[in-house]
């Protein structure tokens, strides 16, 4: 669980609610008309921008990865692959059949090696799997960014509609307040949806896409070296190149000058 996403959303909402309650009643800030223009308009614009297949893949995958962390860090993957290389060296590919891991992509690679598939087959299938996954995750990031881009614009549209309605009813003072409230709340909702939810999620998905690309490429290289019967020490040293210099050594282990 990525607690930072949940904590950020909860903290942002708490700040907004606190400011609202300090200055009045929460019901003052609820407008069905503003919700319709923001959520309905943003949904419609997003449907125009993306085909249905992209929405079906990108939205749920994006939401899932915005609130979850990778099961293993890059450093953990290096240790895990070195351990697997040691097993393969001592017991051969058959020994990998009993190896268990929490990382599904790594488990797939281990299964390919244990089943005796050739190097090109393993490389092609794992790279295709990685590229498809990264494509869908990138689609998720683009969808949330698109919603974040158009929500403030529809907030402005709602504001303009509310102002037109207000100026069209200047003869009836009782209607001016509700129309002005709708106009202002549409802008408020658009800003909140964009800056508290959609754009931050899009940025987080982009960061996780980079991390997943690194981790999955690391796994592919490690699996290929294990299939090629490389020594565990060589596997570890080759894969440590994926990590930043300061993360290449365990805590307490001296870092070479």
pLDDT at 25 over 90: no
pLDDT in tens, 175-228: 777 788 888 999 999 999 999 999 999 999 999 999 999 999 999 999 999 999
The average pLDDT across 29-55 equals: 92
CB atoms within 10 A of CB 3: 10
The average pLDDT across 63-76 equals: 84
pLDDT in tens, 137-168: 999 999 999 999 999 999 999 999 888 888 88
178 and 206 in contact (C-beta within 8 Å)?
no
User: Residue 213 CA to chain centroid, in angstroms?
Assistant: 13
- The residues near 228 (Cβ < 8 Å, ≥ 6 apart) are 119
Is residue 249 very low, low, confident or very high in pLDDT (cuts 50, 70, 90)? low
State the Cα torsion 62-63-65-69 to the nearest 10°. 160
- Range 77-114 burial, b when 16+ CB lie within 10 A, else e: bbebbbebbbbbeeeebeebeebebebebbebbbebbb
Is residue 255 very low, low, confident or very high in pLDDT (cuts 50, 70, 90)? very low
35 and 189 in contact (C-beta within 8 Å)?
yes
Give the pLDDT of residue 222.
95
pLDDT at 254 over 60: no
Give the pLDDT of residue 64.
87
């Amino acid at each position: 669980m990525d607690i930072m996403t949940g904590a950020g959303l909860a903290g942002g909402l708490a700040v907004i609610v606190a400011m609202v309650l300090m200055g009045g009643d929460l019901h003052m800030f609820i407008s069905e008309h503003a919700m319709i223009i923001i959520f309905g308009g943003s949904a419609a614009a997003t449907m125009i921008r993306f085909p249905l297949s992209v929405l079906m893949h990108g939205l749920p995958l994006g939401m899932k990865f915005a609130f979850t962390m990778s099961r293993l860090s890059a450093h953990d993957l290096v240790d895990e692959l070195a351990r697997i290389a040691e097993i393969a060296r001592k017991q051969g590919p058959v020994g990998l059949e009993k190896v268990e891991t929490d990382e599904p992509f790594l488990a797939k690679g281990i299964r390919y090696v244990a089943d005796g598939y050739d190097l090109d087959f393993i490389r092609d299938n794992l790279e295709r799997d990685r590229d498809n996954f990264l494509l869908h995750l990138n689609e998720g990031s683009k969808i949330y960014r698109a919603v974040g881009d158009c929500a403030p614009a529809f907030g402005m549209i709602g504001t303009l509609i509310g102002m037109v309605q207000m100026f069209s009813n200047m003869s009836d003072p009782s209607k001016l307040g509700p129309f002005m409230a709708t106009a202002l709340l549409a802008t408020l909702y658009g800003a909140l949806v964009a800056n508290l939810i959609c754009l931050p999620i899009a940025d987080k998905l982009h960061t996780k896409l980079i991390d997943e690309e690194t981790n999955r490429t690391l796994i592919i290289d490690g699996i290929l070296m294990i299939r090629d019967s490389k020594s565990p020490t060589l596997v570890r040293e080759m894969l440590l190149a994926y990590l930043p210099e300061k993360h290449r050594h365990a805590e307490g282990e001296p870092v070479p000058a």
